[in-house]
Amino acid sequence: MRKVGEQMKTELTNIRIKILFILLHNTKKGITAAMIAQALGVSKSTISRALEYFQKEKIVQKEKLQLTMLGDKTVAKYWEQKDSLLAWLTDNVDMNRIEAEEEAIGIVLNTKEKTLDAFISTLEKGKRNCVLCEMDGFCEKCIDYLLDDGEYDISFTIYKESKTKHMQVSMANDGFIHPGLLIVTNGIGIIRLESKKVVRSVPAAKGLFSGRVDDVSYMQNHQYVNAVHEGNIWKIPVSCMKFTYNKGERILMGSAVLKFSCTVGKIHMPESTAVFTITLTI
């Protein structure tokens, strides 16, 4: 397939990129064109034409409404670009979140890839001076100051979010393989977690039940965002985390508020909120 970035952008519209964003973060099975049309407030035919184009370009699977591997990589980059611009606009421009998101999408669609990458890089550099040297504070956008691009094993613990119970480990902590992985690319970090099946005895039921985390979302800009996942692999952007860096001991610690749900047997358990923490010696 020809180079996707620039070529595909010429065919994208505001509605089409929102369709791709829905597919990127979709965790529901059996999503339909009608459901997407209802979510975006447009006709089903508009969605169907867009999907036909995406399938032709091998961005969306023909068998079901899911992104292909190529589509996931391409759309994830659009989402990250949009998110970086959104964060800057909400912090620096007098507009509400909805207006800022529309503005960010417009910039992504109408700016050449090389220019956009340079612009976002400049925005990120502008944030670096505000936190790095203040009382061991550490801005997630400054991760390239401390870490070279690469992969790093990370220790993590997931605690219950509770105002009355201090630092109790959540059951979700056993729902993932330890350690996790921090992947840094061009100074941008992604946390990679692999979920696993958990078996628990239930005395009241006199038996064993098994389950697996089937939905993860993270708090960013005061709202929950569905984590991107491929099978049992869940990806959480470092940008949603708050950090401290102990310069003396060279220990980087970060935390984020996550929301989980899981299915045990035929029972879908209610969502629970937890605090995800990481520790990394640099």
Domains parsed from the chain with CATH numbers: 4-128 (1.10.10.10), 140-281 (2.60.40.1850)
Neighbours of 143 (CB within 10 A): 20
DSSP strands (E only) in the chain: 137-138, 150-160, 180-185, 188-194, 198-202, 207-220, 223-226, 228-230, 233-237, 242-246, 251-264, 267-268, 272-281
In degrees rounded to 5, what are phi and psi of residue 260?
-125, 155
**Is 241 in a helix, a strand, or coil?**
coil
Percent of the chain with pLDDT over 90: 34
31: pLDDT strictly greater than 90? no
Q: List the end-to-end C-alpha distance of the chain, in Å, as a whole number.
A: 40
265: pLDDT strictly greater than 50? yes
Q: Please check whether residue 19 is in contact with residue 51, taking contact to mean a CB–CB distance below 8 angstroms.
A: yes
Instruction: Please write the tens of the pLDDT for every residue from 118-149.
Output: 888 877 665 544 333 343 445 555 565 667 88
What is the per-residue pLDDT for 222?
A: 81
pLDDT band at 166, cuts 50/70/90?
Answer: low
- The span from the CA of 11 to the CA of 30, in Å, is 26
* Pick from 216, 218, 212: nearest CA to 229: 216
Q: Which of 47-61, 156-170, 210-224, 231-245 has the lowest mean pLDDT?
A: 156-170
- The span from the CA of 38 to the CA of 49, in Å, is 15
Mean residue pLDDT of the chain comes to 81
What is the per-residue pLDDT for 125?
A: 62
| Residue 42 buriedness (CB in 10 A; 0-12 / 13-18 / 19+) | middle
162 Cβ contact list (under 8 Å, min separation 6)? 168
Residue whose structure tokens are 């899981």? 262
42: pLDDT strictly greater than 80? yes
178: pLDDT strictly greater than 70? yes
Could you tell me the two tokens for 269?
A: 């358990």
What is the per-residue pLDDT for 145?
A: 61
What is the per-residue pLDDT for 10?
A: 76
* Pick from 72, 45, 56: nearest CA to 11: 56
Return the C-alpha torsion angle 173, 262, 68, 193, nearest 10: 0
What is the per-residue pLDDT for 129?
A: 44
* Mean pLDDT confidence for 174-203: 85
Neighbours of 48 (CB within 10 A): 14
pLDDT band at 2, cuts 50/70/90?
Answer: very low
pLDDT band at 1, cuts 50/70/90?
Answer: very low
- The span from the CA of 246 to the CA of 272, in Å, is 31
Percent of the chain with pLDDT over 70: 78
182: pLDDT strictly greater than 60? yes
